[in-house]
Amino acid sequence: MKKAAASAALVSVGGILPGLSAKSYGRILGSNERIQVACMGVVSRGMAVGSNFAGQENCEVIYSCDVDANASAKFAAAIQDIQGSKPKEQKDVRKLLEDKDVDALVVTAPDHWHAPAALMALQAGKHVYLEKPCSHNPKEGELLIAAQKKYGKVVQVGNQRRSWPNVVAGIKEVHNGAIGKPYMAKTWYANNRGPIGRGNRVAVPEWLDFELWQGPAPREAYRDNLIHYNWHWFWNWGTGEALNNGTHMVDLARWGLQVEYPTMVNSAGGRYHYEDDWETPDTQIINMEFGDKGVITWEGRSCNGKHIEGGSVGVLFYGETGSLLIEGGNSYKIFNLKNEIVKDVQNDMPIDPQNRVSPAQALDAIHIQNFFDGIKKGIEVRSEIVGAHQSTLLVQLGNISQRMGRSLQIDPATGRIRNDKKAMALWSRDYQKGWEPKV
């Protein structure tokens, strides 16, 4: 059943990657030594990621963890269909981490839970697969780096494009001088999200443990326009479109330009389209300068889906002799200074970057297997926590600049804000008493 489910997953998203045979995919999907994982946060994207883990021959999902009882039961049943065994249900991540049979925790819960759950898992001796963003605020990213170093476990962050073969090849082209010296990367995300309205304070549904859902976050009353997705647009739990989607392409931009921490960050934007409870920007432009090494920009439009360079997401590198475009899929194009395409590397696998659940399941399986190789073989994973923090920090600094209404001067050695105590107050956050994260 596992083999059939894995094969079906590959076929359902458009077939085998160019250059990889069915036998090669068999190797990607692994051996019979199973890594036992617990999945935390199993709605929507969590369902897709957990199902992908269950579809790997060298993995078994043994826990379904969600504060939504209905979602947890649905996930457990779906995983049983894939792997032939039903995971246990446990709504409290702290309790399942006491189980010695758990090798790794997969965190796809809301953003405010990402770093706290990962820290708990590392302290319990578990490896962590952590969906982006790796943290809700910069301080949490620093804590994750310290914890990974202290406990020595593998942390793979869900910047899955770092494992997509043609994306890797495109970045290598940039590094090898295909466009001369690169000095600028433009990134973007565009969508047509509707309004979320004005939430009403109502009784918490019987299927939801809202107290545990809030976990580390300071308590607010339940409202009927918050769960399961609109929390992204509230600062108490979410991080806005910049971290929800901007992180992916900004990570590629930083990787391509081979930069770490910036020297200056500024942001402009706001909530323009609708009058509702949405707190984070629906339109935002973040500029990140890296001294004489170059500049990265991110343009986010949550409520106007007009494409840039033919795609709703992408990164475009500018260099001395040309440009290189990585679109939403597993492909890239190189242009000369006359705007002529000189190389076009395509992939016939359909990928939908607007699909927030599972845009590229088979490609993401490569990232999962890289995580397993980190556990079994001790190799450095492709999205390790130091680099993931550096990429996440760029858009976090953009949000801090946005909220402060001014540019931020940054120490390029540490990524910390210079000479601005008010801005540094947003480096961390307030936590519910007793939930403060620690290494």
CA distances from 256 to 32, 178, 417 (A): 36, 12, 24
CA distances from 228 to 42, 111, 199 (A): 11, 12, 13
pLDDT at site 355: 53
pLDDT at site 5: 43
Alpha helices in 124-241 (DSSP H): 138-151, 165-175, 210-214, 240-241
DSSP state of 385: H
What pTM was estimated for this model as a whole? 0.90
pLDDT at site 11: 36
Alpha carbon distance 104, 122 (integer Å): 9
Question: Over the stretch 221-238, which tens digit does the pLDDT of each residue have?
Answer: 999 999 999 999 999 999
Token look-up 């990787």 returns 255
Asked if residues 66 and 379 have their Cβ atoms less than 8 Å apart, the reply is: no
pLDDT at site 37: 98
Residue ranges and CATH numbers for the domains of the chain are: 2-162+368-377 (3.40.50.720), 165-199+209-353+387-424 (3.30.360.10)
Question: Over the stretch 117-148, which tens digit does the pLDDT of each residue have?
Answer: 999 999 999 999 999 999 999 999 999 999 99
Pick from 154, 136, 116: nearest CA to 437: 116
Asked if residues 269 and 418 have their Cβ atoms less than 8 Å apart, the reply is: no
Alpha carbon distance 23, 161 (integer Å): 23
Section 380-400 average pLDDT: 98
pLDDT at site 204: 98
Band (pLDDT 50/70/90 cuts) for residue 174 is: very high
Burial class of residue 228 (count of CB atoms within 10 Å of its CB; 0-12, 13-18, 19+): middle
pLDDT at site 33: 82
Asked if residues 128 and 105 have their Cβ atoms less than 8 Å apart, the reply is: yes
pLDDT at site 362: 85
Section 241-252 average pLDDT: 98
Query: What is the pLDDT of the chain when averaged over all its residues?
Result: 92
pLDDT at site 121: 98
